Structure 1
């Protein structure tokens, strides 16, 4: 229920679909399993297991959606072994070599024969529309996977005004400044993890974990020309996370105060998911708003 990593997309609040439109459009783009010779299948699925027919889980002004992907698993070694046996059989029976073009045709036929019987693996990417703050919060820090979900949302909705999280000051510059000073600002405190890189293609990378980031030995890396590319932070003693130079959040931990507040709303699955989604979205969106303030605002 609680996101572990985050890609952020600011939205045009004035152009957001209604909840009903979103639900209808995603239902029309519902996931269907891989069939026959399909290698993969992608579509929207119910984000809440206790509401299997609902494509959107709404908690006040936050709407959770889920994109499901199913892929066929056909190990190359299996195809290669069958192909080798087939080639050897032809060579023994007909006394001739099998050329490259014929091998490729044999390989294609073997693949087509095996594909309908191949195992499948599935994955899900979840996201929450925070309509109050105008943000799409994607539970994945991988740019390709986050963009894949955004692309499918745009296809289903016939367009969605979402942009990359560009700010007037780069996150790397702000993180480097905070590390150099040995302290964050506002509600942000330095935690105990960071990554620093030097300039140039062959520059060294230094990673630190469970380290006092205000220590002189850490600060000296910045003084010697390295920039911070990832920085562990704690926000208002409510959320721990690692901020990256791409403005994604990794290794998010929602601390006890939030977990306990969600649990106080009930212990059944629906109540927990409803409360945790509201608390999580509010915490993340408020955290992001404060970060953007320190970064000089959103770039035009």
Structure 2
């Protein structure tokens, strides 16, 4: 399991956290199928379908997987049914249907159509690093993130964590890197950068297949625009696009790491996952030590 996104949170009060307690309670809160009127359900999933392996642990890191099942009602279907119902009322009763009545009709239609809707499943992977005091998600989706937090709190009773807080604006730091040609020694710029201006409409320019330190980019930055996201490579271990909210997308771990994980595996899906997770979590832990310095992120007590 190699994460393609990284959203990192810092844990608080880890001395009161019990990984054994979490492992024990995961099967008590599984993802269940949507009922006839459920909009969605959310719960824990085994790491591999039809297995009883709910987590993997490696060097004070624990990998878990949660899932969401939701009823999908295509907007076009609801709109078509609503338009037909409104047209019928206006024809039969000879009156206009008002906004509130339309909203009520739509709610009734959704209620009647939902049992017939098909269910779609999606998942979110996460791991807890007790040594570095981190929660790391393989997702930047706000809705899935919120549901995962709620599930952790429901499962454990409480789960204190905070988003990363940089002392200085990440956007201004990345802008300085490019304007001053002063990228940290362990980083190399990639071929993708998005910049934005400070006006109310926040106009953006995206450069691809172009060296971010090129004159085309730095000229706009010197005129007052700032970096929104920037493609980077860290040492020889991973590349990514760093966003101004401190999330990482398009994460790619180096093939050498993957080859090492393959050599460490004893064979089989769970063994492969275990080997991949061990190397990935150690790499992210090391990366975070540099990350904290770049953006002056304070450790949580």
TM-score (norm: length of structure 1): 0.88
User: In structure 2, do the counterparts of structure 1 residues 146 and 16 end up closer, same or farther at CA, with 3 Å as the change threshold?
Assistant: farther
User: In structure 2, do the counterparts of structure 1 residues 207 and 99 end up closer, same or farther at CA, with 3 Å as the change threshold?
Assistant: closer
1:127–1:138 contact (8 Å) kept in structure 2:
yes
2:42–2:147 contact (8 Å) kept in structure 1:
no
4+ residue runs of structure 1 moved beyond 6 angstroms?
Answer: 87-92, 101-105
2:186–2:234 contact (8 Å) kept in structure 1:
yes
Q: Tell me the residue number matched to 1:37.
A: 37
Tell me the CA shift for residue 15 of structure 1: 3.6
Which secondary structure state, in structure 2, belongs to the residue aligned with residue 163 of structure 1? strand
Q: Tell me the residue number matched to 1:62.
A: 61
Separation in 2, partners of 1:212, 1:287: 23
Separation in 2, partners of 1:16, 1:184: 39
Which secondary structure state, in structure 2, belongs to the residue aligned with residue 121 of structure 1? strand
2:37–2:111 contact (8 Å) kept in structure 1:
yes
Residue by residue over 1:172-230, the C-alpha shift from the partner in whole angstroms, topping out at 9 and shown as x without a partner, is 12211111122421311212211111112134312111212222232222211111111
Tell me the CA shift for residue 264 of structure 1: 0.6
Q: CA RMSD in A?
A: 2.6
Matches within 5 A, 1:8-87: 8-12=8-12, 14-15=14-15, 17-49=17-49, 52-82=51-81
Separation in 1, partners of 2:130, 2:295: 22
TM-score (norm: length of structure 2): 0.88
Q: Does 1:281 align with 2:281?
A: yes
Q: Tell me the residue number matched to 1:190.
A: 189
Q: Give the stretch that moved more between structures: 104-113 or 24-33.
A: 104-113
1:37–1:115 contact (8 Å) kept in structure 2:
yes
Q: Tell me the residue number matched to 2:163.
A: 164
Which secondary structure state, in structure 1, belongs to the residue aligned with residue 163 of structure 2? coil
Tell me the CA shift for residue 145 of structure 1: 2.8
Tell me the CA shift for residue 164 of structure 1: 0.8
Tell me the CA shift for residue 75 of structure 1: 2.6
Separation in 2, partners of 1:251, 1:212: 17
Q: Tell me the residue number matched to 2:229.
A: 230
Which secondary structure state, in structure 2, belongs to the residue aligned with residue 252 of structure 1? strand
User: In structure 2, do the counterparts of structure 1 residues 245 and 54 end up closer, same or farther at CA, with 3 Å as the change threshold?
Assistant: same
Q: Does 1:296 align with 2:299?
A: no
Count of aligned pairs between the two proteins: 298
Which secondary structure state, in structure 2, belongs to the residue aligned with residue 221 of structure 1? helix
Separation in 2, partners of 1:54, 1:212: 45
Q: Give the stretch that moved more between structures: 109-118 or 220-229.
A: 109-118
Separation in 2, partners of 1:105, 1:226: 46
Tell me the CA shift for residue 286 of structure 1: 1.3
Separation in 1, partners of 2:47, 2:104: 42
Unaligned runs of 5+ in 2: none
Separation in 2, partners of 1:228, 1:113: 48
Which secondary structure state, in structure 2, belongs to the residue aligned with residue 22 of structure 1? helix
